[in-house]
């Protein structure tokens, strides 16, 4: 199967497939999502099956611009209204108390629901066509559980070859070009405002400082009792090749040592390193917004290089880089000992 160009006809067909309980992958400005009717528990169960994801992990409900949020959430605090006015449509997910009639399946059994209105025009057209704009699409990122999120239709095709074959779980992939933001939405929990204030569950393109400025109150880091979020598991967003972050001033030396032991090194850097020569090298822009845009495509490309490991030049630690650093830390989580083993 091929990815489908987004003609009005293709969107109408995709909406129909979703209404009948099938899955459709679609572009958003952050990453591609694997969508299902959020009010159809069987359809939502198909997402878990296709992704190989544990079914107690909640998924985000995507809604059309201007949708009635009170249909999905039972308490909509003033802070939610302020953030919606400032950042929707856009890469921000709000966690709110779930309305009683919303199926358990979307919230992984928790009493909250994650809601987001995406800004990508194809996502919006699809949401307007689906159930006449009054429905919600449960959509996690369109990748296998724990793997790198897709920012292009081709990435989705690569992830789900079997599920996209005739009679498979996924009816179509809508091709809307490369996702502009490139990393998943910022998630802020507003479901426990009275006791915890707003809590940043996942950093992203919209920063904690921007949220604080709009709400005029501090945004806390997650505590032990914060709602579970799979994107906040320690290991996540990982390519198959181990990823190791190395400080810029150690990069030359580490590459030399690895190559002396006959290891194949793939490198991702944002600065020039004239002394280094490797067969696979992805050079990413030195500003956080452009870096995020290219990050996942870069990791996928280097994952194809058949290297022993992917070395990533460690990034600055300031706030602007928080979203990207969060994803890289999780991509590298399982590979801490890899370098020692390859050098040993």
Per the annotation, binding residues for L-threonine are: 30, 62, 116, 139, 185
Cα–Cα dist 333/242, whole Å? 9
Tell me which residues touch ligand TXA (CB under 6 A): 28, 30-31, 33, 57-60, 91, 93, 95, 107, 110, 112-114, 116, 139-141, 184-185, 187, 201, 227-232
Using CA of residue 311, residue 316, residue 318, residue 319, what is the dihedral sign? negative
Task: Decide whether 93 or 141 has the Cβ nearer to Mg ion.
Answer: 141
Q: Which does 339 bind (CB under 5 to 8 A by kind): ligand TXA, Mg ion, none?
A: none
3-state secondary structure of 130: helix
The answer to the question of residue 93 lying near Mg ion (CB under 5 A) is no
The least distance separating Mg ion from the CB of residue 147, rounded to whole angstroms, comes to 9
If you ran DSSP here, which 8-state letter would residue 302 be given? H
The least distance separating ligand TXA from the CB of residue 269, rounded to whole angstroms, comes to 26
The least distance separating ligand TXA from the CB of residue 7, rounded to whole angstroms, comes to 22
Cα–Cα dist 138/58, whole Å? 9
Residues at the binding site for ATP are 53, 112, 141, 149, 202, 237
Let me know: does 68 contact 168? Beta carbons within 8 Å.
no
Task: Decide whether 33 or 135 has the Cβ nearer to ligand TXA.
Answer: 33
Residues at the binding site are 30, 53, 62, 112, 116, 139, 141, 149, 185, 202, 237
The least distance separating ligand TXA from the CB of residue 193, rounded to whole angstroms, comes to 14
Q: Which does 139 bind (CB under 5 to 8 A by kind): ligand TXA, Mg ion, none?
A: ligand TXA
How many residues appear in the chain? Answer: 344
Please list every residue from 121 through 150 that binds Mg ion, using CB under 5 A. 141
Let me know: does 108 contact 102? Beta carbons within 8 Å.
no
The least distance separating ligand TXA from the CB of residue 275, rounded to whole angstroms, comes to 38
The answer to the question of residue 28 lying near Mg ion (CB under 5 A) is no
Binding-residue total with Mg ion (CB under 5 A): 1
The answer to the question of residue 185 lying near Mg ion (CB under 5 A) is no
Cα–Cα dist 148/180, whole Å? 16
Region of 242 on the Ramachandran plot (φ > 0 left; ψ -120 to 50 alpha; else beta): beta
Q: Which residues of 213-238 are buried (b: 16+ CB within 10 A; e: fewer)?
A: eebeeebeebeeebbebbbeeeebbb
Let me know: does 150 contact 159? Beta carbons within 8 Å.
yes
Positions touching Mg ion (CB under 5 A) are 141
């Amino acid at each position: 199967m091929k990815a489908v160009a987004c003609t009005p006809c293709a969107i109408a067909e995709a909406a129909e497939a979703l209404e009948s309980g099938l899955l459709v992958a679609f572009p958003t400005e952050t990453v591609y999502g694997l969508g299902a009717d959020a009010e159809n528990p069987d359809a939502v169960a198909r997402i878990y099956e296709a992704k190989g994801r544990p079914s107690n992990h909640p998924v985000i409900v995507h809604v059309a611009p201007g949708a009635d949020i009170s249909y999905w959430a039972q308490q909509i605090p003033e802070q939610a209204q302020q953030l919606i006015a400032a950042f929707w449509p856009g890469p921000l997910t709000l966690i709110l108390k779930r309305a009683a009639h919303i199926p358990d399946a979307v919230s992984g059994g928790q009493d909250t629901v994650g809601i987001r209105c995406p800004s990508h025009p194809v996502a919006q057209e699809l949401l307007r066509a689906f159930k006449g704009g009054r429905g919600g699409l449960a959509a996690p990122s369109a990748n296998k559980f724990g793997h790198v999120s897709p920012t292009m239709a081709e990435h989705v095709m690569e992830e789900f070859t079997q599920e996209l074959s005739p009679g498979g779980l996924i009816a179509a992939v809508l091709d809307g070009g490369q996702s502009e933001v490139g990393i998943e939405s910022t998630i802020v929990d507003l479901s426990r405002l009275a006791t915890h204030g707003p809590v940043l569950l996942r950093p992203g393109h919209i920063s904690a400082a921007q949220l604080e400025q709009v709400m005029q109150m501090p945004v806390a880091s997650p505590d032990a009792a914060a709602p579970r979020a799979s994107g906040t598991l320690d290991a996540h967003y990982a390519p198959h090749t181990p990823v190791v972050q190395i400080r810029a001033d150690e990069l030359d030396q580490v590459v030399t040592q690895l190559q002396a032991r006959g290891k194949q090194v793939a490198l991702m850097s944002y600065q020039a390193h004239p002394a280094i020569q490797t067969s696979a090298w992805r050079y990413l822009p030195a500003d956080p917004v452009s870096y995020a845009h290219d990050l996942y495509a870069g990791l996928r490309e280097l994952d194809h290089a058949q290297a022993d490991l992917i070395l990533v030049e460690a990034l600055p630690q300031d706030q602007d880089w928080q979203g990207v650093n969060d994803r890289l830390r999780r991509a590298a989580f399982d590979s801490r000992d890899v370098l020692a083993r390859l050098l040993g």
